Amino acid sequence: MSTDSTGPTGSPGSTPAASTPGRSTPGSGNGAELIRFDKVTKRFGSNTVLDDLDFTVAPGKHVTLIGPSGSGKTTILRLLMTLVKPDEGTIRVDGEYLTHEEKGGRLVPAGEKHTREIRKKIGMVFQQFNLFPNMKVLQNITEAPVHVLGLGRDEAEERARELVELVGLTECLDRYPTQLSGGQQQRVAIARALAMRPQVLLLDEVTSALDPELVAGVLDLLRDIAHTTDITMLCVTHEMGFARDISDDVLMFDAGRVIESGPPEKIFSEPENERTREFLSAVL
Amino acid sequence: MTAELWEAIFKGIWITVQLTVYSAALGAVVAFAVGTARTSRHWILRFLSGFYVAVFRGTSALVFMFWLFFVVPLAFGWQFVPMWAATLALGLTYGAYGAEIVRGGIAAVAPAQREAGIALSFTPWQRMRRIILPQAVPEMLPPFNNLLIELLKGTALVSLLGIPDISFEAQLARLATGQSTTIYLAILGMYFVLAFLLTRVMRLLERRAKAGIGQAPPKSGGILGKLRIEETERSTKAGLAGGAQ
């Protein structure tokens, strides 16, 4: 596959956040790429959702995936979160294979434990929030740090309180998710993901399920996080204004391939590909 | 009817209650073990648990009880205490039915909850224990209540092993006095009262379980009470959506 981007120019001295295949050196762990897809193909039945996809994301970059629905954007996030497995190709996170293990010089499908270790570097915020209804807000946030990372309860709660303050929900710590509005639930979900201190945050259409008047608050929070932390972000969104604000790079998807990529100024102002132009004129 | 006969029947109630409690305890353990195994990612666990359910649901608790009581001694030269044979037969059989309730309850939890658990790197067992089961259990309680009442009435089978439960004592009293109507009416009432008490306990558990997942339990029974609850829920939601919070 090929894209016609030469990578972003925004941040001097850094590696391209999303580079064309062949640019990055083979081998892993060079520190310049946090996420690397190599020839990844994903099919659902006879429908090829991702077609021989290559792309990389450098640490600290904010990359937005745009494109018509069904173009495979969300599948990329779900592959990274190992909610689905690739049919072909490999994915590496921070230099390590996500769904494969090297055994005797050969790549074999990884066991649950290996995948789980790599996965700890990744956090995800879902479209439908997916908070645990059986836990109050505080416990939603502390449960994984305590039981997955092995943090002491006091430490986890302190972390949770800081995050809840960040997302502006201090007064809601003692409520159940069903007692919160959609916007509040999504803020808790963001805090819950951040409590694991992931290197990468995946945002899957996080405002699509919200009432219109609640969208801005959540986007402002994410802008704030994007601008004040060095967390790597991979977003699927239909909010083009938001994409323009936070992205170092925008990847335009169509039919399972990246058809155009580049810094947001370029993609949104002077897209080169005909499909990109069509898509943007439809959504902007 | 003499006082002694009535006393024997009341002692039978105690036996019936004991049998119900023991079998239910065993059945619950079996139901959760087998029911969660049926959702395992290991095919061998799924196969074995499926096989268990097929066998115990497909055969008769009574015949199994006879096997334990009459055939096991022939094969092993060793005899079960009747209460234990009965508890084992009832617990294993009703556990198979319970396993299907557990499996259904687990399947009814939104798949997105499992995904959220994966995204936070919980192990499969942690996902089951901390996320899936706490949400599934409140949904399981009403069908468990049904099964428990079935089990209570199923304990009458043990009278055929000569265990002096309500049914057994009633049978004796009927043979002694011939007052079938009085006696059977009385034990009908006894089973009903026991079932009613069980239902009350289960309702209490259900309410507490629902409160534990943030669902407001109805305070009082009756349609009017329910309408009131729904109304306050609606207005709370409207308030939240309106950004009042």
Distance (Å) from the C-alpha of residue B10 to the closest C-alpha of chain A?
42
Quick one: pLDDT at residue B209? Answer: 84
Report yes or no: A131 at the B interface, CB cutoff 8 Å.
yes
Number of cross-chain residue pairs from A and B with Cβ atoms under 8 Å apart: 82
Report yes or no: A116 at the B interface, CB cutoff 8 Å.
yes
Q: How far is CA A88 from the centre of its chain?
A: 21
Q: What secondary structure letter does DSSP report for B216?
A: P
**Cβ <8 Å between B115 and A178:** no
Quick one: pLDDT at residue A109? Answer: 87
**Cβ <8 Å between B214 and A134:** yes
- Facing residue for A126 by CB, picked from B112, B243, B245: B112
Alpha-carbon span B134 to B189, nearest angstrom: 36
Q: At what angle do helices B82-107 and B133-154 cross, to 10 degrees?
A: 140
pLDDT tens-place values along chain B, 245 residues long: 688 888 888 899 999 999 999 999 999 999 999 999 999 989 999 999 999 999 999 999 999 999 998 898 888 888 888 899 999 999 999 999 999 999 999 999 999 999 999 999 999 999 999 999 999 999 999 999 999 999 999 999 999 988 999 999 999 999 999 899 999 999 999 999 999 999 999 999 988 888 877 665 555 555 555 555 555 555 555 444 444 33
Q: Are strands A88-93 and A96-97 parallel, antiparallel or unpaired?
A: antiparallel
Cβ-Cβ contacts under 8 Å for B163 (sequence gap 6 or more): B15, B19, B82, B83, B86
Long-range own/partner contacts, residues B170-173 (CB < 8 A, 24 or more apart): B170/B9, B170/B12, B172/B5, B172/B8, B173/B1, B173/B5, B173/B6, B173/B8, B173/B9
Contact between A262 and A63 (Cβ < 8 Å): no
Q: Are strands A47-57 and A35-44 parallel, antiparallel or unpaired?
A: antiparallel
The residue written with tokens 């090829």 in the block is A48
Quick one: pLDDT at residue A108? Answer: 87
Report yes or no: B244 at the A interface, CB cutoff 8 Å.
no
Contacts of B109 in chain A (CB under 8 A): none
Could you give the 3-state DSSP secondary structure of residue A35?
Answer: strand
**Cβ <8 Å between A144 and B121:** yes
Report yes or no: B240 at the A interface, CB cutoff 8 Å.
yes
* Token pair listed for A43: 């099919």
Nearest residue on chain B to A197, judged by CA atoms?
A: B120
Alpha-carbon span A252 to A4, nearest angstrom: 11
**Cβ <8 Å between B121 and A213:** no
- Facing residue for B241 by CB, picked from A82, A147, A181: A181
Q: Are strands A200-204 and A122-125 parallel, antiparallel or unpaired?
A: parallel
Among candidates A74, A70, A106, A104, which has minimal Cα distance to A90? A106
Mind listing the pLDDT tens digit for each residue in A70-94? 788 999 999 999 999 999 999 999 9
Alpha-carbon span B181 to A231, nearest angstrom: 79
* Token pair listed for A60: 């600290």
Whether residue A5 has pLDDT greater than 50 = no
Contacts of A83 in chain B (CB under 8 A): 115, 118-119
**Cβ <8 Å between A144 and B120:** yes
Mind listing the pLDDT tens digit for each residue in A124-160? 999 999 999 999 999 999 999 999 999 999 999 999 9
Mind listing the pLDDT tens digit for each residue in A226-262? 999 999 999 999 889 899 989 999 999 988 889 999 9
Nearest residue on chain B to A146, judged by CA atoms?
A: B122
* Token pair listed for B172: 């004796």
Nearest residue on chain B to A143, judged by CA atoms?
A: B130
Mind listing the pLDDT tens digit for each residue in B14-35? 999 999 999 999 999 999 999 9
The CATH fold assigned to B3-214 is MetI-like fold (1.10.3720)
Cβ-Cβ contacts under 8 Å for A129 (sequence gap 6 or more): A177, A182, A185, A186, A188, A189, A209
Number of Cβ within a 10 Å radius of residue A51: 16
First to last CA, chain A: 27
Residue B217 carries which side chain, given as an amino acid letter? P
Q: What secondary structure letter does DSSP report for A23?
A: S
Q: Are strands A249-254 and A106-109 parallel, antiparallel or unpaired?
A: unpaired
**Continuous segment of H or E residues that includes residue A41:** strand A35-44
Domains of chain A, earliest start first: 60-79+121-283 (3.40.50.300)
Report yes or no: A178 at the B interface, CB cutoff 8 Å.
yes
Helices and strands in chain A: count of H runs, count of E runs? 9, 12
Quick one: pLDDT at residue B230? Answer: 53
Among candidates A246, A254, A244, which has minimal Cα distance to A275? A254
Contacts of A192 in chain B (CB under 8 A): 120
Quick one: pLDDT at residue B234? Answer: 53
Quick one: pLDDT at residue B214? Answer: 67
**Continuous segment of H or E residues that includes residue A266:** helix A264-269
Residue A235 phi, psi dihedral angles, 5° rounding: -115, 140
Mutate to test the interface with A, among B40, B41, B114, B120 (most CBs of A within 10 A): B120
Nearest residue on chain A to B234, judged by CA atoms?
A: A179
Mind listing the pLDDT tens digit for each residue in A163-219? 999 999 999 999 999 999 999 999 999 999 999 999 999 999 999 989 988 899 999
* Token pair listed for B74: 């022939």
Contact between A167 and A190 (Cβ < 8 Å): yes
Nearest residue on chain A to B113, judged by CA atoms?
A: A130
**Cβ <8 Å between B215 and A178:** yes
Looking at this predicted complex, what is its ipTM? 0.84
Q: Which residues of A220-259 are buried (b: 16+ CB within 10 A; e: fewer)?
A: ebbeebbeeeebbbbbbbebbebbbbbbbbbbbbbebbbb
Report yes or no: B242 at the A interface, CB cutoff 8 Å.
no
Confidence band (pLDDT; 50, 70, 90) for A110? confident
Could you give the 3-state DSSP secondary structure of residue A103?
Answer: strand
**Cβ <8 Å between B134 and A82:** no
Report yes or no: A210 at the B interface, CB cutoff 8 Å.
no
Cα Rg, chain B, nearest whole Å: 23
Quick one: pLDDT at residue B223? Answer: 53
- Facing residue for A112 by CB, picked from B112, B124, B214: B124
